[in-house]
Amino acid sequence: MEVWVEDPYIRHTHQLYNFVRFCEMLLKAPCKVKRIHLLTSQDEQDSSQQTRALAELKESLSAHGMDLDVQYSSTIHDRESRFDNGWIIKIGRGLDGFKRHKNFHKQFKEMAAAMETPLSSSEKWFNRS
């Protein structure tokens, strides 16, 4: 199975976390997703964290037998997830549907440790003091 995700806002730390969680959900799915295609926009101010984070995620997913294909578009606006079985999910505010929590990094580390998710150990690009 393949999934196409179009979301222009997979740029900042909390948005990247939301995408990681989406990928983890797909890893645990019984339908065995083999490839995720992400179409997003590039962070105009500093794309280095975004590029590094997505490269790390690609490597982590590859270790679990899943490919991540990342493409960038400066004109993308709408958000949706499409599955090769015909399902299309219009996701409105996207994977970034919730406000960023002011203690997001601390909260996420605690949640990831409690969940012991397969990608949690590879999220070194998000570590902040």
Query: For residue range 85-98, what is the model confidence (pLDDT) as tens digits?
Result: 888 777 665 565 55
56: phi then psi, degrees, rounded to nearest 5: -65, -45
Q: What is the dihedral of CA 122, 7, 12, 113, to 10 degrees?
A: -40
Which phi-psi region, left, alpha or beta, contains residue 109 (left: φ > 0; alpha: ψ -120 to 50)?
A: alpha
Predicted TM-score of the model (pTM): 0.71
| Digit-coded pLDDT (tens) for 58-115 | 999 999 999 999 999 989 888 888 888 888 777 665 565 555 555 555 555 555 555 4
The CATH superfamily holding the domain 2-126 is MITD, C-terminal phospholipase D-like domain (3.30.870.30)
Tokens in use for 72? 């960038």
Q: Are 49 and 17 in contact (CB under 8 A)?
A: no
Task: Please write the tens of the pLDDT for every residue from 10-40.
Answer: 888 888 888 898 898 888 888 888 999 999 9
